[in-house]
Structure 1
Amino acid sequence: MSDVDSRIQELVRRVRGIADAGAPEPIAVPGDDALGELEREVNRLIRASDARLQERLLFAVGPVVVFRWQNREGWPIEYVSPNVATLTGYPLEDISSGRRPYASLIHEADLPRVFEEVTTHSKAGAAWFVHQPYRILHADGRALWVADYTVILRDDRNEITHYFGYIMDITDQVEQMSRLRAQEQVIERIGSPILQVGRGVLAVPVLGGLYGDRAARMTDDLLSAISRTGARTAILDLTGLQEIDTPTVESLLRTSRAVGLLGCRCVLSGISPVVATLIVKLGLEAQSLTTVATLQDALELALGS
């Protein structure tokens, strides 16, 4: 077999490898003749094929599912990454066949909004955009919240031909945020109740952050209660605060100073290391504060005075 024939056979073997979605080894030393030019082009194809293969492997597993939709009614699916079954519950063949367009996966209550977002960003000439979270329907009937990062593909005439979507299940995050909002609403409704816990002693369990109107309302209610009852001690109990931030600490210190102006001693109980650190870090005046570790300590201090 001549050297040329051998080289041609190597070229054929590598082209077949590319056609079979593989990534064959590049030709080590391309020749300097006309056939060498072809060998260099095949090497370039091998490198490009290997890059595409690595990209497909990247999305074969993991949380992100890649879709390629046609810019047609219902957004027919031309390509989807192999991990789509994990997200949707439908077999890869069922989705990649095109029988099930992407719009059919979207929850009917969210579909108009998703369509409007696609239309708005497409007309605006965007290259990509991020959807507001929306729901898709799993094969078992569950509604899953997804994040959708969409890339718009246009042809030489600037006409939209396809959309690439990078989809990720964020149901756990959305449900957690929903629970937090529900807790905040409960706390907002409850407010900070003012309790008469002894003769001349008021206690306020502080729940949640103190911002804006809520902080002002708690301070006003406490000052009114002090004036009405003639209380000598007001306890702000922080035991129920699992997290605390700078605005909350500042609000508590302002409330404490306002209480002192009425001749009432303010005691902060349940002071955690985090709160103590914030007070020091902010350089806030804490000399006039009376602080104790627990509510029981605060009650003993107030009732024993």
Structure 2
Amino acid sequence: MTAASPNNPIDIADLLAFYASAGVDDALEDEPVNRLAEAVQKPSERAPVAATPARESAPPPPEPSRPDMSRLPDAPPARAPSASATVPDEAQAALARQLAATAASLDELRQHMAAFDGCNLKFTAKNMVFADGNPNAAVMLVGEAPGRDEDIEGLPFVGRSGRLLDRMLAAIGLDRTSAYIANVIPWRPPGNRTPTPHETEICRPFIERQIELVNPKVLVNLGGPSAKTLLNTTEGILRLRGNWRVHMTASGTAIPAMPTLHPAYLLRTPAHKKLAWRDFLEVKAKLRALG
């Protein structure tokens, strides 16, 4: 194709047709530029190319109008949180102490605990685990809290730990007809998690009153949490176990207490079963001495 010139309309038409076939559909300059003439200029002689003007951005979409709140109906009043969402507070702890103190029998204590809604663990447990065994027995054993099997059956120590405890009792001539078994916490913590100090404290009046009503000759604390709660100590169970302590009831009765290892711990650490065996021999000797 020959060079185009302004005086040759045929060449200009051919050039425009060439641009169209090449996909050129928009002019970038207000005035036409002779690119062929620029090709023969030296770099220092070339005129600076004007910057391409930025295209105007589209205007932002209009902001959505807000509703006129004055024309909307009044919102319903907020409902108070349900009992299942209640977190125990000092008022509930005080109520637990009051209910426990007014229970004149184990049956009445059970009824008070069943009606008590101040502990959030109650709303995630299937059953309240009150006790098992003979309330007239000379020995009472107290663990920490129910597990999955205990929650299902509503009885303490019925799973693997319970079967081991039965064998431990049988080794000193006892069974569930000659022993009374309970827990500090009567409701299973979800997922078998450790009860919080607040949950333990709110349940403490119930187990203390339960011990007072049973009035055993000997108390056996199964595991560190039971020993720390009922013996008011911060010592670990490995230092506590094997040494006689005293549990004082609200009425001032002193009950000999033997802290020992929890059956669940013994299942995980079989080598320490010999320590628990020594503790249970101490319990046997104490019961014989007390008649």
Q: Same fold (TM over 0.5)?
A: no
Indicate the structure whose relative CO is greater, using CA pairs within 8 Å and at least 6 residues apart. Answer: 2
Higher normalized strand content (fraction of residues): 1
Give the structure-1-normalised TM-score: 0.26
Give the structure-2-normalised TM-score: 0.27
Q: State which structure, 1 or 2, has the greater radius of gyration over its C-alpha atoms.
A: 2
